[in-house]
C-alpha cells in the first residue's frame, strides 16, 4: 500500500479563501518588486481588495462542514466565524495604516505583504484539526509579526520589541512542539479527532504523568501567544515598540487566532482531560486579569496601558475556556473575541490620529483636554473605554455577562468574583482616560492633522460595531452559538 495523493475538488474548495489570499499576496509581492517607490500606496488598496475577496470566499463556504487534506484541515462554522473576525480586523488595521508608515518614512510594500501572510497563517490556525497544521499555521502567523514589530528599524524600541518577541516566540514554539511530541508518544497520533477517540476508547490514565506534562507544555505554548500571566513578559515591550496599527492587529487578530487554536485543541482533542486542566486554567485566568489590571493602573503611556489591558482581557477570555463544558462556554468566548476586537482596535486608531509633529500621541498626557481639542474623537474614545470596562450600551457588557454567566454555571463562582473585582479595578484606569480628556486642560495645543478617509472609516466601523454588538447582542450570540455546535460534538 502506497499512500496516494488524494486531492479532490472538496480539498480545493475548503482551502479556497486561503488560496485566494495567498495568490494575491504573491502577486502583490511581485508587483512590489517591480513597481516604483512612489507607487507603494497602491499596495495598501490592493491588499484591501485581497482581504475583501477572501472575505467573500469565506462567506460562500458557510454551511459546509467537512475535513480535507487527510484530516489536517476542517471547514466548519467555527472556523468561518474566526476567519471573518480576523479578516475584518486585518482590513481595519490596513486602513488604519494609511499614510502612517509613509509618514514615518518607511516606504515599502512589504508591510502589507507581511500582514497578508500573517493573516493566512491565522486562517490556517482557525481551521487546523491536526497538531501539525496548528503548529505550522502558528509559525506562519508569528514570523511576519516578528518582522512587523521591528518594522521601524531606525527606532530602538521597535527593534528591541522585535528581538524580545522573536526570542520568546521561538522559545514558546519549541515548548509547544515538545508538548506535541508527547501527545504523539501517548496517543500515537496528532489528529485532534483521533486523540479524542483515543481517550474515549482507551480511557484516561490518570496515573500517566506524561499527560500532565503535555498539559503544562500546551498551556505554556499557547499561553505565550495569548499573553497569559506568567507568559506575558514580552507583551508590553512588544506592543509599545511595534508600529501602532500592528499593535492593534496583534492585540486582536493574533489573540483571536491563538484562542481559536487553543479552543479547538482543548475542546476537540482534550475534553476528556477537562477535569485536569480546568483548575489550572482558572488560576491562570485569575492571575492574568489581576496582574494585567493592577499593572495597567500605574502606566503613564497610553499604549502601554492598553497592552496591559489586553493582557487582562486575555484573562477574561480564559474564563470561557474553563467553562468549556457548559453549553454556552465556547460561544461566550467567540462573542467576547468579536466585541473585544472592535473595542480594542479603536483606541489604537485614535492614538494614530493623535500624532502631531512633536508628540507620538501615545502618552496619557497627550489625551489631556481632548474633549476640547477634538470633541468627536473624545466621545468615540469614551465609547471604547465603556466597552473595555464592560458597561452598557456597548459590546463589552454582554460579552462579560455571557462569560461570567458561563463561569457561574460551571461552578467557578470564585473565578466570577475575581473577574468582577477586576472589572472594578479596570474601570479605574479606563475612566482615568475619560477624566484626562474632559477635566484637564490640553497640554499640547497643536492642531491635529485632518484624518484621512480610510483611517476615519476604520474608526467609524469600530465604534459602530461596538455599539451594534452592545445594542443587539442576541443576534451575535446566536451566530456564535451556531458556529460552535459542531466543535464539541
Partner 1 sequence: MTFVFYLLGFVAIVSSICVVSFKNPIHSALGLVAALFSTAGIYILLNAEFIAVLEVIIYAGAIMVLFLFVLMCLNIRELKMMPQFNILRPIAIVVGAFLLVYIVIIIIQSNFGNFTGVYNEAKIIELGGNAKALGQVLYSRFLLPFEIISILLLVAMIGAITLMKEGLRGK
Query: Contact residues for partner 1 (CB under 8 A)?
Result: 1-7, 15, 22, 29, 37, 69-70, 72-73, 105-108, 110-111, 113-114, 117, 120-121, 124, 130, 132-133, 135-137, 139-140, 143-144, 146-147, 150-151, 153-154, 185-188, 205, 208-210, 212-213
CB of 253 or CB of 459, closer to partner 1: 253
Least Cβ distance, residue 148 to partner 1 (angstroms): 8
Contact of 283 with 412, CB cutoff 8 Å: no
Of 107, 11, 106, the C-alpha closest to 64 is: 11
C-alpha cell at 30: 511581485
Least Cβ distance, residue 121 to partner 1 (angstroms): 8
Cell 506568567 belongs to residue: 230
Of 154, 117, 142, 161, the C-alpha closest to 24 is: 117
CB of 106 or CB of 438, closer to partner 1: 106
Distance, in Å, from the CA atom of 172 to the CA atom of 222, rounded to the nearest integer, reads 8
CB of 6 or CB of 411, closer to partner 1: 6
Distance, in Å, from the CA atom of 169 to the CA atom of 143, rounded to the nearest integer, reads 9
Least Cβ distance, residue 227 to partner 1 (angstroms): 20
Distance, in Å, from the CA atom of 91 to the CA atom of 71, rounded to the nearest integer, reads 30
Distance, in Å, from the CA atom of 91 to the CA atom of 435, rounded to the nearest integer, reads 31
CB of 5 or CB of 34, closer to partner 1: 5
Least Cβ distance, residue 385 to partner 1 (angstroms): 35
Least Cβ distance, residue 120 to partner 1 (angstroms): 7
Least Cβ distance, residue 208 to partner 1 (angstroms): 6
Distances (CA, A) of 135 to 17, 108, 254: 20, 29, 14
CB of 38 or CB of 489, closer to partner 1: 38
Contact of 28 with 119, CB cutoff 8 Å: no
Q: What is the DSSP string of 211-278?
A: HHHHHHHHHHHHHHHTT-TTS-THHHHHHHHS-HHHHHHIIIIIHHHHHHHHHHIIIII-GGGHHHHH
Q: Could you give the count of Cα atoms lying within 13 Å of 260 in the half-sphere of its Cβ?
A: 38
CB of 170 or CB of 485, closer to partner 1: 170
439: number of Cβ within 10 Å: 10
CB of 137 or CB of 398, closer to partner 1: 137
CB of 110 or CB of 328, closer to partner 1: 110
Least Cβ distance, residue 294 to partner 1 (angstroms): 23
Least Cβ distance, residue 107 to partner 1 (angstroms): 5
**Kind and range of the H or E element at 68?**
strand 66-68
Amino acid at each position: 500500500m502506497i499512500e496516494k495523493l488524494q486531492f479532490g475538488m472538496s480539498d480545493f474548495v475548503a482551502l479556497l479563501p486561503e488560496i485566494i489570499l495567498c495568490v494575491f499576496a504573491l502577486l502583490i509581492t511581485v508587483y512590489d518588486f517591480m513597481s516604483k517607490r512612489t507607487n507603494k500606496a497602491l499596495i495598501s488598496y490592493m491588499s484591501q481588495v485581497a482581504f475583501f475577496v477572501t472575505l467573500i470566499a469565506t462567506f460562500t463556504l458557510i454551511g459546509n462542514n467537512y475535513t480535507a487534506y487527510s484530516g489536517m484541515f476542517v471547514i466548519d462554522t467555527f472556523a468561518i466565524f474566526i476567519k471573518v473576525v480576523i479578516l475584518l480586523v486585518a482590513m481595519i488595521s490596513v486602513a488604519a495604516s494609511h499614510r502612517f508608515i509613509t509618514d514615518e518614512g518607511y516606504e515599502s510594500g512589504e508591510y502589507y505583504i507581511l500582514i497578508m501572510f500573517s493573516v493566512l497563517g491565522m486562517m490556517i490556525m482557525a481551521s487546523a484539526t491536526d497538531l501539525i497544521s496548528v503548529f505550522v499555521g502558528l509559525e506562519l502567523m508569528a514570523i511576519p509579526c516578528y518582522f512587523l514589530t521591528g518594522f521601524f528599524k531606525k527606532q530602538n524600541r521597535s527593534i528591541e520589541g522585535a528581538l524580545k518577541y522573536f526570542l520568546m516566540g521561538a522559545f514558546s514554539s519549541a515548548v509547544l512542539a515538545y508538548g506535541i511530541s508527547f501527545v504523539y508518544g501517548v496517543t500515537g497520533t496528532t489528529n485532534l479527532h483521533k486523540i479524542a477517540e483515543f481517550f474515549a476508547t482507551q480511557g484516561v490514565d490518570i496515573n500517566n504523568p506524561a499527560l500532565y506534562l503535555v498539559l503544562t507544555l500546551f498551556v505554556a505554548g499557547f499561553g505565550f501567544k495569548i499573553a497569559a500571566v506568567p507568559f506575558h513578559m514580552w507583551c508590553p515591550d512588544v506592543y509599545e515598540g511595534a508600529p501602532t496599527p500592528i499593535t492593534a492587529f496583534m492585540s486582536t487578530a493574533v489573540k483571536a487566532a491563538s484562542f481559536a487554536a487553543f479552543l479547538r485543541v482543548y475542546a476537540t482533542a482534550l475534553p476528556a482531560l477537562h477535569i485536569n486542566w480546568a483548575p489550572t486554567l482558572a488560576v491562570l485566568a485569575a492571575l492574568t486579569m489581576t496582574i494585567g489590571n493592577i499593572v495597567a493602573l500605574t502606566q503613564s503611556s497610553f499604549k502601554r496601558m492598553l497592552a496591559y489591558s489586553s493582557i487582562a482581557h486575555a484573562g477574561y477570555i480564559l474564563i470561557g475556556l474553563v467553562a468549556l463544558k457548559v453549553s454556552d462556554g465556547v460561544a461566550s468566548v467567540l462573542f467576547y473575541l468579536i466585541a473585544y476586537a472592535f473595542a480594542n482596535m479603536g483606541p489604537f486608531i485614535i492614538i494614530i490620529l493623535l500624532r502631531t509633529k512633536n508628540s507620538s500621541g501615545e502618552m496619557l498626557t497627550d489625551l489631556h483636554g481632548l474633549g476640547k481639542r477634538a470633541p468627536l474623537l473624545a466621545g468615540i474614545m469614551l465609547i471604547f473605554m465603556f466597552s473595555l470596562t464592560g458597561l452598557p450600551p456597548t459590546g463589552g457588557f454582554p460579552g462579560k455577562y455571557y462569560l461570567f454567566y458561563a463561569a457561574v454555571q460551571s461552578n467557578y463562582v470564585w473565578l466570577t468574583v475575581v473577574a468582577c473585582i477586576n472589572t472594578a479595578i479596570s474601570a479605574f484606569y479606563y475612566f482615568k482616560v475619560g477624566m484626562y480628556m474632559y477635566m484637564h486642560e490640553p497640554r499640547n495645543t497643536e492642531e491635529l492633522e485632518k484624518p484621512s478617509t480610510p483611517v476615519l472609516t476604520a474608526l467609524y466601523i469600530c465604534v459602530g460595531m461596538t455599539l451594534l454588538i452592545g445594542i443587539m447582542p442576541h443576534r451575535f450570540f446566536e451566530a456564535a452559538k451556531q458556529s460552535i455546535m459542531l466543535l464539541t460534538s
